[in-house]
Structure 1
């Protein structure tokens, strides 16, 4: 079972944002030690409970404090940005940390309507241009971009470009991923669907590319693991009360699909989901509102690999 970590960089009282970012680095180092495949960090804006506004900056810091684990965004919210700048940032990361960088892309606003407008103006208009923006980004990442018939290069050029993934919860995002030969991550913890239909559509439509010859699918799962079922349920209750705060105060809404249990019971749950959805990997966020217990959850989950 291939497992990876998704971190929202939560600011858990009495920690301040600086302490929360230090805990992000500790989680990445722990994930590397435990043999997780990837450490990804999300992007959200103007949420006091989260310290993940700039994934590329945090990943640069964490890359210097780890050695092997792949690092990526889960997800960088592409409608807010110009494709060349995104390609330059992730080319820089891939040059600093060869063979370790993933560029996970999403198209959600990542915050309130007012925050989205402050960040990039007409967000809905930007989303409507997502096909063109994504195509330009892929062209920059693979040195195909031209403007007025003149090549434009997003430098520095790494020896190995970032591996591109699209994150979503519907067949539209799956189709984008398939069209561009990218990996696909289904946001199980953000959706009422199990993802089987969406991932199947991705696999059926996948167009092989030089950078990814075969489809690769992940499930993004919310899971809390503990030594006993009772402890897992107790932590889940704490997590649910924390999750259900208004989105502008803490975590995003829509996080009700939380798996809980011991390593043995979670293995059964994850294997069942994997069979239904034909997933190659699980990207796990463990939303425990206590840093030490969150680490313990990931330590226990590592036994599933």
Structure 2
């Protein structure tokens, strides 16, 4: 019983001491607040205390800042990957469009060159695409995608951007075959632009060489001369480039000269050609006589004087 009484008195004294201590702390806090409010004496203490406590705040906030930084880095990386993929797709699309535009530009350039080959002539021309090329040493032929249904006729001249390429030899309803001027069985009447000398050019079976035979020793021809169609025979319109003389040599009999020429056309490397109808020439005399030679105007003037009264 005595033990229980002592315990109650001790607990009461401890409670009184605790209340008195709390009141003392509250009083001290009130005094300090009043003094600080009136004299601002504790500002330096607060600044020093803030400097001491700042690292603790930085350490305490580190997990949040690390989490935020990691999320931003992940989001930025993901956004960059998405933008990179989008830019790569746009680049592929742009490249595809660029290649398409380049192909169209090349096709337009080829067509301009083809049409430019008929400049100065009023001819009936027809565009045809090459489907197949046969460059066997004994057969230089091409297959065209135009036939009798499209108005193609046997004997039509075939030209490309460089000049005369060959002649149509076989016509089917929707296809036709043309013989190239380099074929060993092909021959075309030509004329030297510089001198007006008329000759015959033959195919050799080589795609880079045609041959001119039976040239008189006194013939005015030399390396570098340009050969054009003469129009003789009516098979080919006059004035289309055929080739350029590259070399001259005596023939086996030493009586005539022979010449090698580089073909002006490149049908074996072209995709399109033009078929020319000789019946549509405006002045048929031009097709027969060929391009005028130097001095022809003087000869014509003399003929007019002789025929006058």
Q: Please indicate the TM-score interval, normalised by the length of the shorter structure.
A: under 0.3
In terms of fraction of residues, the more strand-rich structure is 2
- The one of the two structures with greater contact order (alpha-carbon pairs below 8 A, sep at least 6) is 1
Greater Rg by CA: 2
What is the TM-score with the length of structure 2 in the denominator?
Answer: 0.23
